[in-house]
Amino acid sequence: MIPGAAAVWKALPVAQRRMIILLVAAIIAANIDQPYPELAPLQHGPTVLLVLAAPWLLRRWPLSNGSVGCMLLFLLLHTLGGRYIYSYVPYDAWARAVSGHDISGTFGIARNGYDRLVHFAFGALLTAPFAEAARRYGVMRMGWSMAFAFVAVGFVGAIYEIFEWLLSVVAAGQTADWYNGQQGDMWDPQKDMAAAQIGSLAALIWLRATRQGHAEAISADAD
């Protein structure tokens, strides 16, 4: 065992330890009878690294249970998408099994939209953690922390789209196409970034409406 690992783990709030365990279980489940094994490392590798680093990161830069929960929800959505390389998440089949109707037909969606949902969720779920980090460690006031979070969502989203572009340059053609999930849409990167910003804006509206409670939550010690 890495020296000090047990102490770092035990120092985390119980709720956050449970969240990390839940994410580990989700990653394992997503790779059972993996339908796209050749792409699984690209999809799940970064999440595994983040899980391994999470106890040390949260020990060094603590966050509230609410913010860690938001990050967990995003990573669970990503893990599900990664199992089906996003473009083939069978949500229509699931919807038909439950209701007899598919989502694409009901709403007139011409492509698999799960990736767009996750980009929206990135903005919606990561805005609060970004804002909390800005308040805790950047000593920003609430308004500035929310502005920082909105910009951070855009910045991280842009860096990710640049990474996808670089991957498409260096990787084999079909691997790049599968990972990028453009599905023939030349404006896919711009739409993904817009979805994230819309999600972030929705989160900011919610945070603004609950400003007092949020301020109290992020000023309290994580427990």
- Summarised one tens digit per residue, pLDDT across range 56-97 is 999 999 999 999 999 999 999 999 999 999 989 999 999 999
Average pLDDT over residues 136-141: 94
53 and 151 co-located in one domain: no
Q: How many domains would you assign to the chain? A: 2
Q: How far apart are CA 135 and CA 58, in angstroms?
A: 16
C-alpha span between 181 and 176 (Å, rounded): 8
Q: Are 203 and 127 in contact (CB under 8 A)?
A: yes
Q: Report the predicted TM-score, pTM, of the whole model to 2 decimal places.
A: 0.87
State the residue range of the domain holding 47. Answer: 1-83
What is the average per-residue pLDDT within 36-62?
94
pLDDT for the residue 222? 43
Q: What is the pLDDT of residue 108?
A: 83
Residue 120 lies in a domain: yes
Q: Is 186 within a domain?
A: yes
pLDDT, mean over the chain: 88
Same domain? For 120 and 201 the reply is yes
In-domain check, residue 89: no
Q: Tell whether 60 and 158 lie within a shared domain.
A: no
Which residues lie closer than 8 Å to 74 by C-beta, 6 or more apart?
118, 121, 122, 125, 126
Asked whether residue 134 falls in the same domain as residue 73, the answer is no
Can you state the percent helix, strand and coil of the chain, rounding each to 5? 75, 0, 25
**Percent of the chain residues past pLDDT 70, beyond the cut:** 85
Can you tell me which residue has the tokens 């509206």? 205
